[in-house]
Amino acid sequence: MSPQSPSDLARSGSLQELYGKLGEVGMGAGWNKPTPSLWPEPRKTFVPVHWQYELARGALDAAGRLINTELAERRNLILFNPVEGNPYATVRTLVAAYQMIMPGEWARAHRHTPNALRLILDAEPGTYTEVDGVAIAMEPGDVLLTPNWSTHGHGNRSKSCAYWLDVLDAPLVQMLEPMFFESAEDETDAVPDDGAEPPPGAATRNSPFVFTLQETLRRLGALKPEPNGPFATQIELGHPALSTAALYMMRLAPDVRTAPFRTTANNIYAVVEGAGATTVDGARFEWRRGDVIAAPAWRPHWHEASREAILFRVTDEPVMQRFGWWREECPATH
Ligand SMILES: [Fe+2]
């Protein structure tokens, strides 16, 4: 096709002709867009979803048999939001994944620009994460951070498989483009030399990269219950724990029903303890320990506990706040 000159464009005799010529020079008519660029309020792009830990455990146990130890750092199940064209993100900016490592395995150390955290679901003593060379013991209910560019690997010297939930801001990093990743070990080095692994019992519990369940329970216990707010009784882990994600632990007493709220921030909830239900924009999900719920931006939601429960909340609220886009409201009706 011949290149369009200014006078070719200027001579366009009809809009259809002009649109055709504009297409050839890489421009589009703003008054004739196929889809709008602005809309009155957040769209329901991502949907409310519930994932069951019990199902994930079954699948991970199969993966333990079917894929080898060299892939231990990738033996995870990505909780992708089932909307068209999305194979990865759980909500727009965050991805959650269940991961398992088997006894004697070492998930090789690496670093990346996405910020990551993990909620430990099941792990026996001897399971640890190494962050910048310091081994941190993993215990159920703990939250471990591996921020942007920190070198991290995971080891399991216990006799049982260890399971946790990872959450990363990788979808946000993919969108904004500053993705860097590098392995800290030789790809063929599946298990570190004896000297490279910490001896059993040497892993610390005292690190700025871990929020222990014990400390979470102590802090929650010191608070006056707030059964009627949107968060029940809530503490924040860090402030914010990661530059792109704030982390909260909420305690719900039996029969508590939180006030519905919606926020421009995206929320992922994981069940640390207990049982109950979360309703997200009309979809009611009954949950148990280890389950995950996605409450995408601007979807009203609330929680009920059928027995004492602790919910872990991961939210991209710091991103929304930093850029002046954070809005939150409690709709009047339940
Ligand atoms: Fe990682």
What is the CB neighbour count within 10 angstroms for residue 267?
25
Ligand 1 mean position, distance from CA 94 (Å): 14
Ligand 1 mean position, distance from CA 152 (Å): 6
Over residues 232-248, mean pLDDT: 97
Local confidence band at 194 (pLDDT 50, 70, 90 cut-offs): very low
Q: How confident is the model at residue 195, as a pLDDT?
A: 43
In this structure, are residues 249 and 272 in contact, taking their beta carbons and an 8 Å threshold? yes
Q: How confident is the model at residue 255, as a pLDDT?
A: 85
Over residues 224-251, mean pLDDT: 92
Where on the phi/psi map is residue 5: left (φ > 0), alpha (ψ -120 to 50), or beta? beta
In this structure, are residues 176 and 137 in contact, taking their beta carbons and an 8 Å threshold? no
Ligand 1 mean position, distance from CA 330 (Å): 36
In this structure, are residues 280 and 293 in contact, taking their beta carbons and an 8 Å threshold? yes
Ligand 1 mean position, distance from CA 106 (Å): 13
Ligand 1 mean position, distance from CA 110 (Å): 6
Q: How confident is the model at residue 201, as a pLDDT?
A: 58
Ligand 1 mean position, distance from CA 183 (Å): 10
Ligand 1 mean position, distance from CA 147 (Å): 9
Ligand 1 mean position, distance from CA 81 (Å): 21
What are the pLDDT digits (tens) for 140-183?
999 999 999 999 999 999 999 999 999 999 999 999 999 999 99
Ligand 1 mean position, distance from CA 112 (Å): 7
Ligand 1 mean position, distance from CA 7 (Å): 55
Ligand 1 mean position, distance from CA 116 (Å): 7
Ligand 1 mean position, distance from CA 325 (Å): 29
Local confidence band at 1 (pLDDT 50, 70, 90 cut-offs): low
What are the pLDDT digits (tens) for 307-334?
999 999 999 999 999 999 999 998 765 4
CA pair distance 300, 102, nearest whole angstrom: 39
Over residues 83-110, mean pLDDT: 95
In this structure, are residues 103 and 145 in contact, taking their beta carbons and an 8 Å threshold? no
In this structure, are residues 105 and 156 in contact, taking their beta carbons and an 8 Å threshold? yes
Ligand 1 mean position, distance from CA 130 (Å): 11
In this structure, are residues 19 and 29 in contact, taking their beta carbons and an 8 Å threshold? yes
DSSP structural state of residue 258:
P
Mean pLDDT over all residues of the chain?
92
Ligand 1 mean position, distance from CA 256 (Å): 36
CA pair distance 124, 297, nearest whole angstrom: 36
Local confidence band at 202 (pLDDT 50, 70, 90 cut-offs): confident
Ligand 1 mean position, distance from CA 73 (Å): 8
